[in-house]
Chain A
């Protein structure tokens, strides 16, 4: 179904924007590394919505946005895997996953 007639583009983008910045706030507020990762996932998700929306509304005859969103999902998965591996490593070294306690790379 074609949504162009019923739901304006700006509302979809508005949703995506809100989710993106909520995810950003989550990354900045949260102390736990895993919850920071969750915020990053939210941001990536919002970006996906964005690409797909523009593809559907502005270029319905092509699939660039669709495939880009696909690639982003694959990369998000890869990145989440690496991040978890790092978190496990950090937990083994510092026995904490609080981001305030892993601040040794400083002045």
Chain B
């Protein structure tokens, strides 16, 4: 069927952005919010319709067929270098459409209540629409260059939204950091794109990833330093994905990005933008698994290390948004691990399916966690756990939904997190036992720090509140309820029939041997957290004192930021930037100033000739006449 109506999904947010951007202060805030939300409601419904149509009718014997709903030539440099813009619908992108529009809609509704009365309300909704447009354009990209374009647009939207409170120096610094780190990673992405497309003469995804296409079918290819060219390209592309998805060591921007408003953190830095890296690897998965398995190994190790690293740090953080940020890092690590351990096609493709399933469920429960945290922050006017406690009496809806989200992320059945995390553990077990062990451990640590968070906010001791916190308004609690419902039922979506590495459905069997230990370690984590934080006690203090050195290191995020600052300030700035700046200021500018100064002094000298002294004029013309005579008569 004709899917060209999907163009609306991408264009409507763009038009809303233009309208809101141009009319900012002339629109009343409420109207701006309603316009943005209405726009999102429309595209959410269109996405659901598309998903329903595609998944019920797009099936065939060889699996789901990708549909190119729209593809137009945008820039044509030569016969071989052409850039198209279009919409590609296949199970992966349709699933992403559903996720992005749903979460974005929830965030739009939530922001009506959360950002009420803020300065720049209309600007906020304009940027949200811009972000939605960019992210949707990214996931429906037909070719890798279009994806790169929208990749950068997403980075820009993130920069604009993190720095929303631009009057705060810390917000400005955080937005710059996010943009610069991801931009640096995108350098690698671009190099990868260029290598890949140079060797295969195309940008188009369908051509690149088809098993008998120019990349996979005909490789063998050249070797460079012992590694094939395709693997180099894939590694560089992964560098871009690692930047956007905040994998170690490019993770430093994500915790600082919590300077933005909380709904922004929910939308961008939990559910949608940070999974762009996972989406990228999934999109190019055939190339990864069939032509460069070495790159997949790298992805697996990076993801695993990141999830352990982030989980440990999350146990020490005092700011609730920071805890959730590190939790996001950890969960994305899970998704990367799942992709890393996956093979292509049939049973081997379990990791692929598990990763995307986890992306799907994670979007809902992480958004729920952030929005719940926002609700708490809104009530208590503070971000730190020390200012909170005993809130279960004052904010019941937030309490229940937050609890559901925490149970989901811990992996307690029958919530959705259990199913997706379990599939990842199964895939890991069958591929690499060490990675499985690490991921299993991280599951326990996840449960521990999430419930540490939960107990510190809703139980423990009750501090003296300046004014008693009250439950949030319905615009904020209704999205919480909807997301909580989604977290519960999303686990029962038959993902294995819909989204797999080769499009064909996958048979799933239930592995008791893996499921039971994972639930047990989660329960152990919860129990430990309850022991330490359920009631006010000094047990937690004693443990942190006992682990003194390690605790301080974890609390300071293992000094990664300090290393970066050292490298940039002491090495790059001092040895490269400063000489370059000196050169620019003195030699380049100096040359220009010299030209200008010379002209001025020359003109000053010449201008003296018009001094107004008559005798000077007379002297000039008589000397000139004599000179001419001399030349004419004798020197000719």
Contacts and interface: CB of A to CB of B under 8 A. Distances in A.
Given A24-B622, A27-B618, A28-B619, A103 B613 contact: yes
Contact of B611 (A24, A27, A103): A103
A99 B615 contact: yes
Interface string A82-107: 00000000000000000110111111
A99 B613 CA distance: 7
B133 to A, nearest CB: 61
A104 B610 CA distance: 10
A106 B608 CA distance: 9
Contacts of A24: 622
A34 B603 CA distance: 34
B59 to A, nearest CB: 88
Interface in B596-617: 607-608, 610-615
19 contacts: A24-B622, A27-B615, A28-B615, A28-B618, A28-B619, A28-B622, A99-B614, A100-B613, A102-B614, A103-B613, A103-B614, A104-B612, A105-B612, A106-B610, A106-B611, A107-B607, A107-B608, A107-B610, A107-B611
Interface string A5-40: 000000000000000000010011000000010000
Contacts of B613: 99-100, 103
Contacts of B618: 27-28
Contacts of B615: 27-28, 36, 99
Interface centre among A99, A103, A105, A107 (most CB of B within 10 A): A107
B612 A103 contact: yes
Interface centre among B607, B608, B610, B614 (most CB of A within 10 A): B614
Given A27-B615, A107-B607, 18 more contacts: A27-B618, A28-B619, A36-B615, A99-B614, A99-B615, A102-B612, A102-B614, A103-B611, A103-B612, A103-B613, A103-B614, A104-B612, A105-B612, A106-B611, A106-B612, A107-B608, A107-B610, A107-B611
Contacts of A105: 612
A17 to B, nearest CB: 12
Q: Say whether chain B's binding surface is mostly helix, strand, loop, or mixed.
A: helix
A94 B610 CA distance: 20
Contacts of A100: 613
Contacts of A36: 615
Interface residues of A, number: 12
A105 B610 CA distance: 8
A14 B273 CA distance: 100
Nearest to A24: B622
Interface centre among B607, B608, B615, B622 (most CB of A within 10 A): B615
Nearest to A106: B612
Nearest to B619: A28
Interface of A: 24, 27-28, 36, 99-100, 102-107
Nearest to A30: B615
A106 B618 CA distance: 15
Contacts of B614: 99, 102-103
Contacts of B612: 102-106
Contacts of A103: 611-614
A24 B608 CA distance: 23
A29 to B, nearest CB: 8
A105 B615 CA distance: 13
Interface string B621-632: 010000000000
A27 B614 CA distance: 10
Nearest to B613: A103
Contacts of B610: 106-107
Interface centre among B611, B612, B619 (most CB of A within 10 A): B612
A85 to B, nearest CB: 17
Nearest to B615: A28
Contacts of B611: 103, 106-107
The 8 closest A-B pairs by CB, nearest first: A103-B612, A106-B612, A107-B607, A107-B610, A105-B612, A103-B613, A106-B610, A106-B611
A28 B613 CA distance: 11
B616 to A, nearest CB: 9
Contacts of A102: 612, 614
A92 B270 CA distance: 91
Contacts of B608: 107
B606 to A, nearest CB: 9
A105 B613 CA distance: 9
Contacts of A106: 610-612
A100 B608 CA distance: 14
A69 to B, nearest CB: 22
Nearest to B608: A107
Nearest to A103: B612
A62 B610 CA distance: 46
A28 B622 CA distance: 10
Interface in B418-465: none
A79 to B, nearest CB: 15
B378 to A, nearest CB: 71
A36 B615 CA distance: 9
A52 B192 CA distance: 97
A102 B610 CA distance: 13
Interface in B111-140: none
A46 to B, nearest CB: 14
A36 B614 CA distance: 11
B610 to A, nearest CB: 5
Interface centre among A24, A104, A106 (most CB of B within 10 A): A106
A100 B611 CA distance: 10
A21 to B, nearest CB: 10
A54 to B, nearest CB: 18
A36 to B, nearest CB: 8
A99 B614 CA distance: 7
A15 B611 CA distance: 34
A35 B622 CA distance: 18
Contacts of B622: 24, 28
Interface in B17-33: none
B41 to A, nearest CB: 73
